[in-house]
Chain A
């Protein structure tokens, strides 16, 4: 499947079916993230049930503390 992640076209493996899978794929599952799919912010409890489709536009921002 091909997704547009943070503006870049990225091919992800077939196992990635949900937002939760995508975060695990990028090893971001334990990071503090905000995820938007097609301009809608996905709530944390929806990660496992929000399916991704070919061509979806995904924005991922993870929080860091330093300053």
Chain B
């Protein structure tokens, strides 16, 4: 018995057999913020075979209060979260293969992973419903379970969606959430994060050891400040006409029209812009370009950051850019094309 996992193996529903199964599994984690870092650490300590982490952002000081894998050095360097997470996770458990993807989790990217790597589970640690509905479509199209989690303030909720066993997120939502509706700026306390991580991780372990009958089957929510708890059994909401899990699915969130090129980042006062074609930028050249225009540009191997008065433009190697200091997509595009057009 590997001592490392002895306590987990002593837990009867997992046992030695379960531990072997966990070791063979590949989990894809979408987002490496608060929920992402919590889930990542738990999965890696539990001894999964491979973890893929996708995140489009970099570490900032405001992350350190709750995003448990990051340090001050990561924030100073503005390291991409996927990279900083991979470094820390490899220190925690060198037996686990960690794949870090600095980029968007769009339909193309997730479908490519689904087809090429056939992962066993997706864990949602994103901050927006656009991406969640893409995950939902990919999960049901390729028959791979996914676990929703979200939190704000002292409130959080989670639900596991299992193709052929449970309804999907679209069935629950009925309508697509409008932008802004779920975009909260109410702050967050770390116990709310940890509670959602615990709900997600418990369902993840059940799925990884294939103990399907142990799954909760409920949408669960809690508020740790007002001391409330609610749980709703979801099996009754399955709809035959659902475009994701119904009889004739069309997976609408994977269609070309859904491949958004811009996104306002939740609670960040920032807009992301994706160039139409994927290309590799030479970041030294980009930094030089800014400097020639008399601008202050800072670079690391993954991104270039430049101050533009009350705005800041951050350019990643894949051509993606974040414009900080605005929620206006048109204004952000104007800034992007002025410098990178």
Partners in one complex: yes
B221 vs chain A, min Cβ distance (A):
4
Instruction: Tell me which residues across on chain B come within 8 A of A6, comparing CB atoms.
Output: 228-230
Instruction: Tell me which residues across on chain A come within 8 A of B177, comparing CB atoms.
Output: 32, 63, 65
Contact check, A67 vs B230: say whether CB atoms are below 8 A apart. Answer: no
Residue of B nearest to A66 (CB): B152
Contact check, B232 vs A63: say whether CB atoms are below 8 A apart. Answer: no
Does A21 count as interface, using CB distance less than 8 angstroms?
no
Interface residues of A in 32-67 (CB under 8 A from B): 32, 34, 36, 39-41, 43-44, 59-67
Instruction: Tell me which residues across on chain B come within 8 A of A59, comparing CB atoms.
Output: 230-232
Q: Name A66's contact: one of B150, B173, B175 (CB within 8 Å).
A: B150
Does A31 count as interface, using CB distance less than 8 angstroms?
yes
Residue of A nearest to B177 (CB): A32
Complex Cα–Cα for A7 and B221 (A) = 12
Report the tally of A-B residue pairs with Cβ distances under 8 A: 86
Contact check, A61 vs B157: say whether CB atoms are below 8 A apart. Answer: yes
Does B98 count as interface, using CB distance less than 8 angstroms?
no
Please encode chain B, from 207 to 247, with 1 for each CB lying within 8 Å of some chain A CB and 0 for all others: 00000000000011100000011111110110000000000
Please encode chain B, from 257 to 277, with 1 for each CB lying within 8 Å of some chain A CB and 0 for all others: 000000000110000000000
Complex Cα–Cα for A31 and B178 (A) = 10
Contact check, A41 vs B237: say whether CB atoms are below 8 A apart. Answer: yes
Contact check, A62 vs B221: say whether CB atoms are below 8 A apart. Answer: yes
Does B328 count as interface, using CB distance less than 8 angstroms?
no
B152 vs chain A, min Cβ distance (A):
4
B253 vs chain A, min Cβ distance (A):
15
Please encode chain A, from 7 to 39, with 1 for each CB lying within 8 Å of some chain B CB and 0 for all others: 110000000000000000000001110101001
Q: Name A67's contact: one of B124, B173, B174, B181 (CB within 8 Å).
A: B124
A64 vs chain B, min Cβ distance (A):
5
Instruction: Tell me which residues across on chain B come within 8 A of A43, comparing CB atoms.
Output: 174
Interface of B is mostly: mixed
Contact check, A67 vs B35: say whether CB atoms are below 8 A apart. Answer: yes
Instruction: Tell me which residues across on chain A come within 8 A of B236, comparing CB atoms.
Output: 40-41
Does B126 count as interface, using CB distance less than 8 angstroms?
yes
Instruction: Tell me which residues across on chain B come within 8 A of A65, comparing CB atoms.
Output: 127-129, 150, 152, 177, 182-184, 266
Q: Name B173's contact: one of A32, A40, A41 (CB within 8 Å).
A: A32
Contact check, A44 vs B232: say whether CB atoms are below 8 A apart. Answer: no
Contact check, A61 vs B230: say whether CB atoms are below 8 A apart. Answer: yes
Contact check, B229 vs A7: say whether CB atoms are below 8 A apart. Answer: yes
B252 vs chain A, min Cβ distance (A):
18
Does B146 count as interface, using CB distance less than 8 angstroms?
no
Complex Cα–Cα for A43 and B267 (A) = 30
Complex Cα–Cα for A1 and B36 (A) = 43
Given A34-B219, A43-B174, 6 new contacts (CB under 8 A): A32-B173, A32-B177, A36-B233, A63-B182, A64-B150, A67-B124
Please list the residues of chain A having a beta carbon within 8 angstroms of any beta carbon in chain B.
Answer: 6-8, 30-32, 34, 36, 39-41, 43-44, 59-67
- Show 24 A/B contacts (Cβ-Cβ < 8 Å), sorted by A: A6-B229, A6-B230, A7-B228, A8-B228, A31-B181, A32-B173, A34-B172, A41-B236, A44-B175, A61-B157, A61-B219, A61-B220, A61-B231, A63-B157, A64-B151, A64-B182, A65-B184, A66-B127, A66-B152, A66-B266, A67-B34, A67-B126, A67-B150, A67-B196
